[in-house]
Structure 1
Amino acid sequence: MKKNIKIGIIQQANCDSPEDNRRRIADKVRTLAENGAELIVNQELHDTLYFCQTESTDLCDYAVAIPSAVTDFYASLARETSTVIVVSLYERRAPGLYHNTAVVFEKDGSIAGKYRKMHIPDDPAYYEKFYFTPGDLGFEPIDTSVGRLGVLVCWDQWYPEAARLMALRGAELLIYPTAIGWESSDTPEEQARQLDAWVTVQRGHAVANGLPVVAVNRVGHEPDPSKMTNGILFWGNSFVAGPQGEFLFRAPSDCEATEIIDIDLSRSENVRRWWPFLRDRRIDEYGGLTSRYLD
């Protein structure tokens, strides 16, 4: 039997006002819901600018508790629009202990579940280890009224192990809220290679696991407050791929975008019958995967 769901995505350019960013997200959620969206996915850390370009303890003030007034805002929005909403928050778990956390709100406004980002980068302009403690909730899908969601976050999207574990635990689709872009010193050729790699690796997760993939990135230029670099130009290109890696939607690189994409989750069953990768895995020979490196 078909299991169609309508997925709404929000690719947004952010400003330095969390209140304004949330207001614009809410307007877009309402519009998507009015047009039939059942599941709405936002980009990574959508309430603020991408503050990880610099290291400053003052920016830890962006962190919010779960629950809090901010989660109440999104809970009310989910209840008002009767949609499942995936949000990405800077979670204040305890004083000095913070996570990069995706929270999934059910249609009635309750929290269906959360996922704490597991892989934390530490690169020029992406100083996330300064702000985020690695996740400790594992790779566990979140059950909702629209399906079993394999929610991961940004840097997790480069790791086939994360996608595979979500698939092995019964995820029906993989979701990646994202914040990734170009640094100004990269040549056009290098920029093209980076974008192509980002798209390709995630389409590979769709193919290898026979699951749809939803990747939602931010867009627009955000300056570096330290002025050590020229900031990040987030490359947009949010996309949805089917279980054979085929594009179902791809957003532009230079502007905001909202879209509703119709996905038949039951199609994964046929794809996995044609390409039975899970059947043919040599699980008896994969012990080395738990080693850092095999000398």
Structure 2
Amino acid sequence: MAKHVKEAALKVASIQMEPVFGETAGNVARSIALLEEAAEKGVRLAVLPELCNTGYVFESRSELRALAEEIPAGPSTAAWIEAARRLDMHIVAGITERDREVFYNSAVIVGPSGYIGRYRKVHLWGEEALYFTPGDLGFPVFDTPVGKIGCQICYDCWFPESFRLAALQGAELMCVPTNWVPIPGQDPKREAMANILVMAAAHSNSLFIVAADRVGTERGQPFIGQSLIVSHTGWPAAGPASSDRQEVLVAEVNLADARRKRNWNDFNQVLRDRRTDVYDRMLGTGYKPGWY
């Protein structure tokens, strides 16, 4: 049965929302209302933005200490676990994590059967480095009933190694909770740089990508929205969303296509064509390669 589910059409959602800093209970409740909207559309897997339970712009360690939660014991994860069970949905949500006195910008992965795992942001952006510790879990891939899922968070997308290492471990779908900000020099008539990067990553690794951004301005920091869902071909399957509204983007995908349709022609398949005589197969990490 599990094999059949993994090869069936799957509806996925990118939840674009506007958290309010410090209002954790309200933010989680708002996220669940949007998840319920996605469930009404038949969605089986949904991605929420980065740090969506607390907001993003911290100004002190005391704020961070007061708002951060343990995973999976904290109330935000517990609420998402209950929602996943009730809605028969897998959920990937950005969360402010506390592990004793160490703090991480994390994503939690839950499903109808409960807690699955966590990802900790590896590449910190800007003043995040004042508050968070860089992730220490690498790039795990979770084998779930809906497919093999990996995670990135925001700035991780600027590092092609992140997607490549997940793909080599067998990931079919990458979930990206994010808080994209304006990029200097961006032509307002062009698509966001972040969108270009995730489209390129999907294409060059034969991965589906669900990127969920936030909107609004928090403590003077604007966020750009433009969430999207990308096919393994690199072309958008849904979105980009608006730059200023809460939205639920939905696309129907077949994750088996990430494997079955990986050959570009009679000669080329991007992961198989890697020159591992020139560079290390797993980029110098201790990961064991998956199938490809």
Whether the TM-score (by the shorter chain) exceeds 0.5 is yes
Q: Is residue 36 of structure 2 the alignment partner of residue 30 of structure 1?
A: yes
Shift of 1:194: 8.8
Q: Is residue 116 of structure 2 the alignment partner of residue 112 of structure 1?
A: yes
State the TM-score, normalized to the length of structure 2.
Answer: 0.87
- Where 2:133 maps in the other structure, the secondary structure is coil
Partners of 1:206 and 1:190 in 2: CA distance: 22
Q: Deviations over 1:92-143 (max 9, x none)?
A: 1012x111111110112x1111111111122xxxx11111111111111112
CA 1:194–1:150 in 2, change beyond 3 Å: closer, same or farther? farther
**Preserved CA contact (<8 Å) 1:148 1:173:** yes
Equivalent runs, 1:209-288 vs 2, <5 Å: 209-223=205-219, 231-250=220-239, 251-274=241-264, 275-287=268-280
Unaligned runs of 5+ in 2: 285-292
State the TM-score, normalized to the length of structure 1.
Answer: 0.86
Alignment correspondent of 2:15: 10
Partners of 1:232 and 1:272 in 2: CA distance: 40
Alignment correspondent of 1:133: 133
Q: Is residue 46 of structure 2 the alignment partner of residue 60 of structure 1?
A: no
Percent identical residues: 33
Count of residue correspondences:
273
Partners of 1:92 and 1:86 in 2: CA distance: 18
Q: Deviations over 1:238-287 (max 9, x none)?
A: 00111111111111112110122101112223431224011110112125
- Where 2:186 maps in the other structure, the secondary structure is helix
Partners of 1:104 and 1:120 in 2: CA distance: 20
Alignment correspondent of 1:226: none
Partners of 1:47 and 1:182 in 2: CA distance: 22
CA 1:56–1:92 in 2, change beyond 3 Å: closer, same or farther? closer
Q: CA RMSD in A?
A: 2.2
Q: Deviations over 1:204-237 (max 9, x none)?
A: 11111111111110011222xxxxxxx2221100
**Preserved CA contact (<8 Å) 1:114 1:142:** no
The answer to which of 154-163 and 64-73 deviates more is 64-73
Alignment correspondent of 1:101: 106
Moved over 6 A (4+): none
Paired amino acid for 1:208: S
- Where 2:263 maps in the other structure, the secondary structure is helix
Partners of 2:175 and 2:217 in 1: CA distance: 24
Paired amino acid for 2:14: I
Alignment correspondent of 2:290: none
- Where 1:285 maps in the other structure, the secondary structure is coil
More helix, by proportion: 1
Partners of 2:209 and 2:238 in 1: CA distance: 11
